[in-house]
Homo-oligomer: A and B are copies of this chain.
Amino acid sequence: RSLRFLAGLIAFHFHSFFIQLCYLMILSLVGYLGLKVSKPRNPVRLNDLDLFYTSVSASTASSMVAVEMEVFSNSQLILFTLLMFLGGEVFTSMLDLLFAGYNLQNKVSINPFPPTNHANQIELGLVLSIPHSDSENHNPCDSNIINVASCDRLKYNCLSYLTYAVLGYLVMVQFVGFSFVSLYMTLVPSARQVLKNKGIKIVTFSLFTVVSTFASCGFVPTNENMIVFKKNSGLLLLILPHVFLGNALYPPCLRLLIMVLKKVTKKEEFSYLLKNSVDVGYEHLLSDLRCCFLVATVLGFNLIQFVMLCSLEWKTKIMEGLNVYEKVVASLFQVTNARHAGESVFDLSSISSAILVLFVVMMYLPPYTTFLPVREHEKDVNKRNEKSVVDCLVLSQLSYLVIFIILICITESKSLKEDPLNFNVLYITLEVISAYGNVGFSTGYSCARQLKTDATCKDSWVGFSGRWSSKGKFILILVMFFGRLKKFNMKGGKAWKLSWPV
């Protein structure tokens, strides 16, 4: 039985992995075809690989730029908005919920007294397991056979309510954000003027930017990303919350929402969701304890980055022309984005190496990285110590990243030799980790940094990887997919014993 359970778990794992991979691939392909057939703003010739790269970048919420953003026409920007909306983690997790709810409904209607087979439940796509020993709560879902039907009913209702809550959250947050940003763009002349000069519609810009930020993608319709708005502190402050709301602080906010809903509606389902948050199986519903420590960790990381950025860069070129308030807001915006949204107000290639190394670490750390000094109730699944064949063959995340970096060093070896100021291992590492973390930071490429000046070189607003060879770009596409699906390989490298001497 234990083995069947394990097999079921692995099957579910692969199943879910392939569904998500296919979803992202189809999204990327559709996006690519859409970009291909639609007309860009000016009749420019766009490389196929670059288009696909950009489409993957939008679908995986990575925002690595290989084509200048202002090349795209209004309809193409709307296509991007759609891709980012459909590719965002909050949205895809809602699809998971819908799928699980649909499966559960089928089960309930077809078979009102199903055998309590755990392996079957797992194949449904979402584990909604209930602690059987929890009899204090008058839980209808204990091992009593008579209650199975009412238990399934409760489960189904929980899933439905949770789905509605997530949907409501998704729509409300983005709608409010959209309203505020478009209001700001309409009212503030300096910002409006920028869009007017670039020929971008205010509505498109607002929708695009808010969806992009909430999905942690980080594309902005302007070539310069947010650098062009670095003096518009108001705009930065309006966008800033969405960086958190759709990413690292999504679990605490969702929990808060459910608590409010429970208070307002007094429904049993919401208290059930709050009490059994981990057992519900929705990956973004974390326990109270975890949420608290998550908030603390996020604030801690941002504080460290903020202090370092301000202390090292306060008086340097990148902050020139800003007053104290603008410097603080811009720095805050920049460091917040280092964890996952990836919008930039500063030119990263001018920032000191110490900060770049810090950014690399921050980009590497997954969104829900938590300093958790206390032991949390863990599922039995995690406790098993056996090593399966897959466990043994799979390496750790870092090993893969190093392999990717080495591969890029090989594909770009010529440039590394001839153009060492643009092509150096720190920038390549930053690019790879940025793609892996689906962040989108990039140091860009500057003709001024070339040692042997190439007369044909033209500066453009594309990311550093936009200047790589096709092989390098192809590897980075793999890294983006790998990074977007990293949750399926969080436990790799188990077969390795890194110890000294014992």
Contacts and interface: CB of A to CB of B under 8 A. Distances in A.
A82 interface: no
Contact of A373 (B387, B424, B501): B387
Nearest to A379: B502
A241 interface: no
Interface string A354-391: 10111001000111111111110000000001110000
Which of A283, A353, A361 has its CB near the most chain B CB atoms (within 10 A)? A353
Nearest to A449: B420
A78 interface: no
Contacts of A421: 420-421
A179 to B, nearest CB: 28
B352 A500 contact: no
Contact of A502 (B283, B398, B416, B496): B283
Contacts of A283: 501-502
Interface centre among A372, A385, A424, A500 (most CB of B within 10 A): A500
Interface in A387-443: 387, 392, 398, 402, 405-407, 409-410, 413, 416-417, 420-421, 424-426
A366 B405 contact: no
Interface string A477-502: 00000000011001000011111111
Given A386-B375, A496-B371, A425 B487 contact: no
A284 interface: yes
Contact of A487 (B353, B365, B501): B501
A167 interface: no
A352 B416 contact: yes
A352 B370 CA distance: 37
Contact of A416 (B353, B358, B366): B353
Interface residues of A, number: 55
Nearest to A93: B501
Interface in A108-141: none
A421 B416 CA distance: 11
A352 to B, nearest CB: 6
Given A283-B501, A366-B499, A369-B496, 15 more contacts: A251-B501, A283-B502, A312-B413, A352-B410, A353-B416, A356-B425, A357-B406, A357-B425, A366-B500, A366-B501, A368-B500, A368-B501, A370-B497, A373-B387, A487-B500
Interface of A: 89, 93, 251, 283-284, 286, 312, 352-354, 356-358, 361, 365-375, 385-387, 392, 398, 402, 405-407, 409-410, 413, 416-417, 420-421, 424-426, 486-487, 490, 495-502
10 contacts: A93-B501, A284-B501, A354-B407, A354-B410, A357-B425, A368-B502, A369-B500, A372-B497, A487-B500, A487-B502
A353 B427 CA distance: 12
A472 to B, nearest CB: 12
Nearest to A499: B490
Contacts of A354: 406-407, 409-410, 413
A392 B371 CA distance: 9
Contacts of A486: 500
Contacts of A409: 352-354, 357
Nearest to A501: B283
Contact of A500 (B417, B490, B495): B490
B425 A353 contact: yes
A372 to B, nearest CB: 5
Given A357-B402, A375-B387, A413-B354, A497 B369 contact: yes
A363 B207 CA distance: 49
A166 to B, nearest CB: 13
Contacts of A367: 500-501
A314 to B, nearest CB: 14
A358 B487 contact: no
Contacts of A385: 375
Given A368-B501, A424-B424, A486-B500, A495 B373 contact: yes
A370 B410 contact: no
A286 to B, nearest CB: 8
Contacts of A365: 498
A122 to B, nearest CB: 15
Contact of A372 (B356, B417, B496): B496
A369 B498 contact: yes
A495 B372 contact: yes
A424 B371 CA distance: 32
Nearest to A251: B501
